[in-house]
Structure formats: C-alpha cells, structure tokens
Amino acid sequence: MSRAALSSRRATAAIVAAALLMPLAACGTGNSTGKADGAPKPDLTVLAASSLTDAFKKAGAAYEKEHAGTRVKFSFAGSQELAAQVEQGAPADALVTADRRTMDGLKTETGAPTVIAKNRLVIATRKGNPKKTGSLRDLADPGLKVVLAAPQVPVGRYGKQVLDAQQIDVEPVSQEPNVRAVLGKVELGEADAGIVYKTDAATALGKVDAVKIPDDQNALASYPAATLKTSQHAEAAAAFVKWLSGPRAQKILRSAGFQQP
C-alpha cells in the first residue's frame, strides 16, 4: 500500500473515531453544567425563629431524605436578630419568623411570604409549679420571679399584648433575646415563671410545667416563611418554602404542637 493511501485510511479512521466520541462528550458536558440527572444539589441556609428549633431539625432531615443531595442548614435566633442579619446581607436562602410584623419589615428583601404555622402562649413554671402559679394575674405577685422576652422579640411583644389586655403589670427580673432563653431561665430555676410558646414548653416536659392561658386571653402567633432575594439558589429556596406548607412538613409541625396556618 502506498504512503498516500495509508495516510488517507488513517485520516478516515480518525474522523470516524471523533464522530463516535461526540455523543459521549456531549453527555459529559451535560453533567458538568448541572443540567443532567444526578447533578450536585445546592446547600440551603435557612434563618428561622428560635421556637422552630426542634421541629425544623426534624423537617430538615425529612427534606434532605426526600431531596437526595440537598443539605439544609439552619440558623436559629430571635426574629429581630434574624431581621438584622438579613439587613446586613448575611448569606442565606430563606427566612421564617415568629410574627408577621418582622417579615413585613423586610418586604424589599424577601419574596411573598406564606404563613406555615401558628402558635399560642403558655406560662412556663419551675418543675412542679412550687409557687402555684395558675393564671396571668399571678405573674404580678412581687414575690414571684418572672422572666419575659424583650418587647422587640415576637414572644415578648405577644406577652406584653396579653398582659396589657388584662391590665396586669409585671416587673420581670430579666428580659431575654429569644423564647429559648426565657425557657432556659425557668428550667434552671433562675426564675419562677415566664411566658413562652406552647411548643417550647413541650420541648422541656419533665423540666418545667406549662400553665394554659385561656384562648380569650391569649395571642395567636403566625409564622411566615419567604425566600430571600439575595439567595444564590432561588429555585431551590422557593421549593423548600413551598414544601413547608406541604403534608410532610405540616405533619411534623402539628406533632410539635404548632397549629394549622
């Protein structure tokens, strides 16, 4: 065979090989851009009110199980602290507060909010309720060490609302930055009583007692959830917020004592 003929056959073989490899190369490109099945899923960071801590840890685990490859990381704090983080540009994908007022104050930073749950207040007392606290009016007893959340905190604002409605003047020994701090003071015996959410008292069964506040004297707390406009994963963030209103998340919230939205 002449050198010219040999060169021609090699050139033809090279062209055929290249043609056969093109579909494989195309598949590889699809994976690298994240458009093909099995592409890496984004991690989501969710800023959430302290009172959601236990329920959202379970919800996050359930979401990750249903959405393989996705990780949900939570940052829990008082709603007013979360608002400050958003205003300061903290990197996050979604926000869930314990009141509408805080969320409404962030309209330029969030998508349209959706209420995912509601809650009620109770009086948390030391285990066994040694001071025999039985009503809101008992909190005015000067011999009772009462701890409340600060008025800037949703649970503190709700607490002030119900006390003012009953014309009850309470002098707290401290005002805390979130509901879990209030619960902790009572649990540790540093206070005799405090106003917390029903769901928070339920997380400390056997450590504190919960005194019910009648509905006609109580406040109903709403929990709105929204995506953040600064999210780098807008589609995934929207999917998570929508999931919170779905049956699986709602079942977890109901089992934690939250009311239907």
- The DSSP-derived string for 145-179 is -EEEE-TTSHHHHHHHHHHHHTT-----SEEESSH
pLDDT for residue 42: 87
How far apart (Å, rounded) are the C-alpha atoms in residues 72 and 91? 14
Strand partners, 259: 118
pLDDT for residue 170: 97
pLDDT for residue 7: 45
Q: What global pTM score does this model have?
A: 0.83
The domains of the chain, with CATH numbers, are: 43-118+222-255 (3.40.190.10), 120-220 (3.40.190.10)
Packed helices 247-255 and 53-66: angle between N→C axes, nearest 10 degrees: 150
Helix (H) or strand (E) holding 210: strand 208-212
How far apart (Å, rounded) are the C-alpha atoms in residues 173 and 150? 11
Sign of torsion over alpha carbons 144, 51, 160, 150? positive
- The DSSP-derived string for 59-110 is HHHHHHHHSTT-EEEEEEE-HHHHHHHHHTT---SEEE-SSHHHHHTTTTTB
How far apart (Å, rounded) are the C-alpha atoms in residues 195 and 160? 10
Phi-psi map region of 213: left, alpha, beta (phi>0 left; psi -120 to 50 alpha): beta
How far apart (Å, rounded) are the C-alpha atoms in residues 90 and 110? 13
pLDDT for residue 39: 60
8 Å CB contact between 182 and 195 = yes
pLDDT for residue 41: 77
Helix (H) or strand (E) holding 195: strand 193-197
8 Å CB contact between 208 and 124 = yes
Low-confidence residues of the chain: pLDDT under 50: 1-37
- CA 7, 8, 12, 13: dihedral to nearest 10 degrees? -30
pLDDT for residue 40: 66
pLDDT for residue 38: 56
Give residues with Cβ within 8 angstroms of 172, minimum separation 6.
146, 147, 148
